[in-house]
Amino acid sequence: MYTLGNNIRMHLFGKSHDAHVGCILDNIPRGMRISADEIRNEMSLRKPKDGIGTPRTEDDHVEILSGLKDGAADGSPIRMIIANKNVDSSKYKEIVNIPRPGHADLPAMVKWKDHDIKGGGQFSGRLTAPIVAAGSIAKQMLSPMNIKVAAFTRSVGSVSDEMERDMEDALASRDHATRACSPELDDRIRGEIISASKDGDSVGGVVECIVTGLPTGFGGIWFDSLDAVISKAVFGIPAVKGIEFGGGFALAKMRGSESNDQYFIDNDSVKAMSNNMGGIVGGMSNGMPLVFRVAFKPTPSISKEQRSVDLSSMKETVISVKGRHDPCIVPRAVSVVEAVTALVLADVSVSEAI
């Protein structure tokens, strides 16, 4: 159910208000060194920051319980847990029968009579913490192949970054709480989020992810296409509503003479003059940077009053979601997009090596 991957495989476990969340990561190459520092860095990027995230604070310390020996993978499954320390279920009591609009509540309540609404149960964004930890290990596996994965905030609400961005820009976003590429955009996006928050509202946005270093031909075909397996992993992240590679939806308005990336020779190797394909043709890398964008809807939990229904009485009512929620999930989702992408690429790299 909660498994991602074929060769490099991650099994998630835990719920938002359990003692821990965590994952098992299978088939990391025996002997690969694993840096706890790098895991810690990635975890810190996912943390809420500076008044633009949830007030729930977790130290997010990743404890590796098995699978390592003297700092290297020992060939057995790597099992990691992260404690849930700052749990507060008090806010959920009054809405136990009232599905929050935009949330998983309605299908979950209808499907499972015993659905536990507290903290989102199995659907909670809290489970993205072990995803980021596993993603860090995947990045460390990709690093010697010179494959780099970095994402950033392309837009939040009405504020959009209009510049073309590269790997360096994406890495620079790590210095900004909003994961914007520049201090100026960081300010504007922070403003957009705080404004929504003050209104008891939330706001959506777009994450863009860039991958460099993929060899030409990297990826599978048909249902194993690189874009197919990435999109499956990305839609596994809560709140994702769209994905596009390269020119994406804009390509649908173009003619082929405009969208096709024509080839030329640069330093004895074949390069494309543009990157409308986002680095993928026929499901495989064409050697250009892999570029895709992911649309996140606004956080569904808002304190603004909304119409809903009490499922026990089947009467209409209104709901105002208290709890502690991020007014905008995008800045923290950047890490999660990077993580699932790294996991998918590590998995495909094993297939490619066969």
DSSP code per residue over 65-121: EESEETTEE-SSPEEEEEE--S---GGGGGGTTSPPTTSTHHHHHHH-TT---GGGG
Residue 92 binding a copy of itself, by CB under 8 A: no
Q: Among 149, 142, 131, which Cα is nearest to 62's?
A: 131
- Indicate whether 252 belongs to the interface with a copy of itself (CB under 8 A): yes
* Smaller CB separation from a copy of itself, 50 or 258: 258
Residues between 98 and 157 that touch a copy of itself (CB under 8 A): 99, 101-108, 110-114, 116, 121-123, 127, 155-157
Q: How far is the CB of 131 from a copy of itself (least distance, A)?
A: 9
- 245 binding a copy of itself? (CB under 8 A): yes
**CA-closest candidate to residue 42, choices 145, 155, 165, 131:** 131
Asked if residue 74 binds a copy of itself (CB under 8 A), the reply is yes
Q: Cβ of residue 85: shortest distance to a copy of itself, in angstroms? A: 15
Separation of alpha carbons 53 and 287, rounded Å: 37
N- to C-terminal Cα distance for the chain? 26
Binders of a copy of itself among residues 180 to 239 (CB under 8 A) are 196, 199, 201-206, 216-225, 227-229, 231-236, 238
* d(C-alpha 256, C-alpha 245), whole Å: 16
Binds a copy of itself (CB under 8 A): choice among 42, 169, 186, 244: 244
Angle at the Cα of 182 from the Cα atoms of 324 and 227, rounded to 5 degrees: 75
Q: Within 290-309, which residues bind a copy of itself (CB under 8 A)?
A: 295-302, 304, 306-309
For residue 64, state whether it binds a copy of itself (rule: CB under 8 A). no
163 binds a copy of itself, rule: CB under 8 A: no
Q: Which of residues 306-335 bind a copy of itself (CB under 8 A)?
A: 306-309, 311, 314-316
Q: How many residues bind a copy of itself (CB under 8 A)?
A: 139
Q: Please give the Cα distance from 28 to 111 (Å, whole number).
A: 36
